[in-house]
Structure formats: structure tokens, C-alpha cells
Structure 1
């Protein structure tokens, strides 16, 4: 039963092949087995490729079955349409477009399996790319918030600088009235005189202004710092919202691009393997000698062709004979006086009716 199934996969005529030897049947069973297992590999490859897209086993396997059947049908068609000829050049010419199609199928089948075979290496490449994309994403988002944050930080620095300047001024006033009391500056009189009191009052006024400035600027600084915190929170929120997009950057196209960044030689050898599998039935047919099955198939096809040609020639001869008879019959009828007088009478009546109708029309017009 398995042998019959593989013969069915080869696309050969089973009625003719059953009349051939076991060796001839085994040859086509081997070709059919290659076609079948190529379709199985196509199913596996398509299922994995579509799983990376849909992330669902059932959908991936459903489309994988359809793709496997499509490849099976194409391979079966390619193999079954190659006929053995008397000259190898003719066989090569008819096989050339089929070989090109086989190369395309091999590429389509091998690429998803390469993605699976080199999955760990591809994941490492994708991880590096994701990390780079994360840094670039954070940098891009930071550019949106950084100018505002810097402006707010500049305002905070300006407010703090006002306090510092005022503190320096108050400290200078403090040193001034202390030095006046100790007689080291100003009037150089030891003790707390009128000048000392004046400088002391000026210092106290500055100190009060400093306290008010601290309270006022501190309130402004707290507002600005809250705005900075809000901006940084918004920045972090945007980073978190966009990170899942980067984490999900492992689809089919991303993996294919990552595969291209790996060394090409291992991937090329896998492609050659599938190319050999895909083209092996065609090459086997080209290299094999013309066997009993080929002769019997050619005989059956030539029989049908001869029969169809005979029927077409017979119909052409019948048509020519019928046309000759019709021409002769119509020529004989055209020479009869009775038919001539009858048609002459009818033509006269028709012309009279036309003349009467024209007369009536003209009469109504007047």
C-alpha cells in the first residue's frame, strides 16, 4: 500500500505503470516519496514561519497544511510533466523552467527551517537589537521632555541663587555691625553706639527680607520641582508604554533580517540541501534512461494523438465535400427559368408596394 501511495505521489499513470516491471515501479515510487517528504518539510517550515506571525498553533498548522498541499501539488505537477525525449537537449529545455520553479520552492521551504535551526543565534541578535532600540527609544523620548526639565531646573537655580546672594548680603551686614561694635571698622569706637545700632537695624531688616525670600522662593521651588517630577513620571510612563512594542520585535521579518546578520555559509549549506531534495526527482528523470513506462506512455499518447488527427482530417474532408455539393446545387438552381420568373414576379410586386408607399407619404406631406 505504501508503494502504491508513493506511485500516486509521483504523478505517473498507474494503469500503465502496473503493466511494467517492479524495478520500473520502484523507480517512480522513489520519485513519489521524494515529492511527499518535500511536502512534509514544506508543512513544517510554513507552520513555524506562520507561528512566528500569529503566535497560535492551530492557525499556523492550518495554513501549514494548505501550504504543504500546495507544494505537493506543484512538485507532483513538475515531475509528471517531464517526458523522456529522444534527445537530451530537448529534455533539458523542457526541464529548465521546472528547475527554476524548484529552486524557488527550495528557497521558500528552507528559509523558515533556517530560522528554527538558528533560533538561539537569532535570539541573541534580536536581544542586542532590542537593547539598542531601548536605549534609542529612551533617548528619543528624553529629547521631548529634557528641554522643559532643564528650563525648570534653571528657574530653580535662579531662585536658589537669589537666596544665596541675599544670604551673602546679610552676612556682610552682620560682619559690618560686629566690626563696628568691636571698633575694628567704621567709627573704630568700641561699644554699641548710634552707628552700631544703625548697622544692626539694617542687618535685621536684611535678615527679615532673607527669611521672607526663603519662604517665597522655597514655595516656588517646590512647585517647580513638582513639575519636574510630573515630567519625569510622564517620561517614564511613555517609555513603559512603548517598551512592549520593542519587546515584541521578534516577528518573521525581524528574524529574517537577524538571520542575514549571521555567517552566511551554514545557511547556504541548508539551502543547498533543500535544493538537492527539491530538484532530485527532476534530475533523476533527466539522468535515467528511457524505460518501459516511457515507451508505453509515449505509445498511449501517440495513439490518442493519431486518433484525434484522423478525426479532425475526416471532419475537414466532410466539410470540403459538403461545401462543394452546396455550391453545385445552388448553381444548378440558379439556372432554372421557373425560379427566375418567380423571383422576377416577387421583385416587381415589391417595387410596386414601395412606389405606392412613397406616393401615400408624399400625399400626406402636401
Structure 2
């Protein structure tokens, strides 16, 4: 427990040697340190989970997720530790709040960032179902769009094809009726369309000729219709109408499994709405409160430090800081004095050196003049 306590003290950013002297403050900084540690732990899990979906499908996705999770968690840990340890308890309440305001805003931003990936994991099942619905709806829209484009582009050919189908149906009905009348004429059945004379006579030959003409025309229409159907089928393949199908359940499961972070984030936002576009209040509140919980959890170390009364540890730290500033100023003054003394000494030495140079130069000039 001593090692755990010292670890949480380290997490809180406290000066351990000073904190040891004040047992009444121990539990407070254990709580602050534990909050900072678990916030960083959640941040690591959140960052790793988000990075796992970024590299989904890659064989090193797990490795990247672990490395980024550790890096992100360490960064959040260091930031939270600095935020809490830098709050000065010596000022008034308003001064402390003003000092902590930028840090609270930063904590809120961090809370939003780390909460989103964890929300994606919490609502994973619902997100998958919403993605399946969206993918299926999108495929329906795509097929409808392809069909509409195809019909507009080949409207003339489709119209001709429909005319051939109507003509074929009409010819088939006429041929059946003409063949029945021919049989009646041959067997001598008396109707308003037959002579009532049995045998293959003049009327029977006429009806047989008409029947043959209709059959020939039906053959031609059938050939033309087959050619047109073949052409339109090739055009459907070219336009992608034939190859585009609705997703099967297995395909939808596969697509939802490999969905990226952006798709899953969109689906999470859509969970707050029903299919008809109305707001689903229960889901909206559940998602919102989970996000607020992580934001509060991220801000909690700052709030604890602000709400906690000024203790002996804070007073001791303030005195130590004041003493260090005093000693630093004395050291600075001493260094300045030493620097000034050194500068004066160097200046005097430089003046003497210049005098010697001038004297030597004068003696040299005098000697040369005498020689001349």
C-alpha cells in the first residue's frame, strides 16, 4: 500500500518529501492522483480503440492501437498532472477560479475527445444495426438511381421493345383464334365466320393463308424482340444495372465489421433519431450523459483541487516556493556583482595594456626619428 500511495502521490504532482510531513493531506492527494491515473487509463483505452478502427484490416492494427493508446494516455496523464499541480491555493477563491478556467476548458475538450471512442464501443451493437440499415438503404437508392438513369438513356429502345411485346401478344392471340376458325372451316362447323362446308376448300385455304401470314409476322417480331432484349441486356450490364444487387445479411455483417471511424461516429449520432426523423429522447439522453460523465471525470481533479480547503501542505509549498525565489534573487545579485567586479578588473587590465602599447609605439617612433 505504501508503494501504491507513493505512486498516486506522484500522479497528483505533489512534492512527496513535503507531503510526507503532513499526514492529514495524504488521502486527499491519493484521491487526486488516482483520479488523474484512471483518467489517463480511460484516455489510453479510448485512443487505442479509435486507432484500431483507423487501421482496421491491417495486420499491425493491434500494434498501432497499443502504441498510440500508450502515447495518448501518457500525454493526457502528463497534461492532467500539470493542470492540477499548477493551481495555486494561496490566492482568493475568485483568483483560483480564474486561474483554473483555461485548465477547465482544456479538461472539457479532453473529456469530449476521450469519451467519443468509448461511446462507440458502448453502443457497438446498436451502431452495427444502424449501419446495416444505412447500407441497405444506400444500396436501394443506388439501384433506383441506376434504373432511372438507364430508363432515361434508353427510353427510345425501351419504347420500341414494349411495342414489339404488345405486337407479339396480339399476334399470338390472333393466331390462336385463326387456327381455331380454320379447324372449324375444315370440319364444317357453321358459324358467322365459316361456310359450314367440311373439307379443305377455298375458304379453308384463305384462312390457312391468313394464318401463315400471321405466323410469319410473329416469327419476325419474335426475332426482333429477341435482338432488342439482347441489346438492352448488354446495355444493362454496361450501365451496372444487372450487376448491382441488394446486400445479403452476410455482406451487411461484413460491411458493418469493417466500417471506419467516420461511419461509426455518424451512426452514433443517428442513434438519437428514429427512422421517421423524430428524436429518440431515451437514446439521446443515454449518449449525452455518458459523454457528460467522462467530461466530469476529466474535470474532477481540477474541481477537487479547487473545492479542497487550503491545507498545511499548500502553505508549506508556498513558503518553499517563496524561499526558492528569494534564494534565486540573491544568487542573481551575487552573480551580477561578481560579473561587474570581473568586468572592472578586465577593464583596468585592458587600460594598462593599451598604455604599454602606446608607450612602446612612442619609443619606437622616437628611436626611428633619431636614427634618421
Q: Does 1:29 align with 2:47?
A: no
Q: Which ranges in structure 2 are unaligned for 5 or more consecutive residues?
A: 273-280
Following superposition, the deviation at residue 147 of structure 1 comes to: 4.1
User: Counterpart of 1:257?
Assistant: 266
What stretches of structure 1 of length at least 5 have no aligned partner?
Answer: 350-366
Residue 314 (structure 1) aligned with residue 334 (structure 2): yes
**Out of 1, 5, 12, which is 1:10 matched to?**
12
Which residue of the partner structure matches residue 82 of structure 2?
A: 77
- 1:57-107 deviations in Å (ceiling 9; x for gaps): 554344323322222222112222223224333322322221111111111
Aligned to 2:278: none
1:25-104 maps to which residues of 2 (within 5 A)? 25-55=26-56, 57-104=62-109
Q: Contact 1:334–1:340 (CA<8 Å) still a contact in 2?
A: no
Distance 1:138 1:312 in 2: 79
Are the counterparts in 2 of residues 130 and 247 from structure 1 also a CA contact under 8 Å?
A: no
Q: Distance in 2 between matches of 1:285 and 1:306?
A: 27
Q: Tell me by how many angstroms 1:136 deviates.
A: 0.7
SS at match of 1:92: helix
Scaled by the length of structure 2, the TM-score of the pair is 0.72
Kindly indicate whether the alpha-carbon contact (under 8 Å) linking 2:139 and 2:247 is maintained by their aligned counterparts in 1. Answer: no
SS of the residue corresponding to residue 90 of structure 2 reads coil
Structure whose alpha-carbon radius of gyration is higher: 1
CA RMSD of aligned residues (A): 4.2
The superposition leaves residues 30-74 of structure 1 with CA deviations (integer Å, 9 ceiling, x where unpaired) of 111111111122223233333444345554344323322222222
Task: Pick closer, same or farther for the CA change 1:344–1:151 going to 2, 3 Å.
Answer: farther
> 2:138, 2:23 → 1: CA distance?
63
8 Å Cα contact 2:12-2:30 kept in structure 1: yes
TM-score of the superposed pair, with normalisation by structure 1: 0.73
When residues 284 and 343 of structure 1 are mapped into structure 2, their CA distance, relative to the original with a 3 A threshold, is farther
User: In 1, Cα distance between the equivalents of 2:112 and 2:357?
Assistant: 82
Q: Alpha carbons of 1:343 and 1:93: their partners in 2 closer, same or farther (altered >3 Å)?
A: farther
Contact 2:135 2:252 in 1 (8 A): no
CA contact (8 A) 1:130 1:246 kept: no
Cα shift at 1:306 = 2.2
Larger helix percent: 1
CA shift in 2, pair 1:49/1:338, >3 Å: closer
In structure 2, how many angstroms separate the alpha carbons of the residues matched to 1:209 and 1:22?
A: 115
| CA distance in 1 between partners of 2:41 and 2:165 (Å) | 75
- Residue-by-residue CA offset, 1:170-202 (whole Å, 9 max, x unaligned): 96xx99xx8xx99x99xxx999xxxx96x8877
Asked if the contact 2:90/2:315 (under 8 Å) is kept, the reply is no
**Is the contact made by 2:171 and 2:218 (CA closer than 8 Å) also made in structure 1?**
no
Aligned pair count reads 334
1:292 corresponds to which residue? 312
Q: Do the aligned partners of 1:134 and 1:246 also contact (CA within 8 Å) in 2?
A: no
Q: For the structure 1 residues 338 and 265, does the alpha-carbon distance in structure 2 shift closer, same or farther, using more than 3 Å as the test? A: closer
Work out whether residues 35 and 281 of structure 1, in 8 Å CA contact, stay in contact via their aligned partners in 2.
Answer: yes
SS in 2 for 1:285: helix
- Partners of 2:64 and 2:352 in 1: how far apart? 78
Q: How does 1:351-362 map to 2 (within 5 A)?
A: none
Alpha-carbon distance in 2 for matches of 1:294, 1:306 = 18
Say which of 204, 216, 220 aligns to 1:216: 220
Q: Quote the Cα distance in structure 1 between the aligned partners of 2:167 and 2:289.
A: 73
Instruction: Mark the CA change 1:251 to 1:167 in structure 2 (over 3 Å): closer, same or farther.
Output: closer
- Counterpart-to-counterpart distance in 2, 1:34 and 1:328: 63
Q: Does 1:115 align with 2:116?
A: no
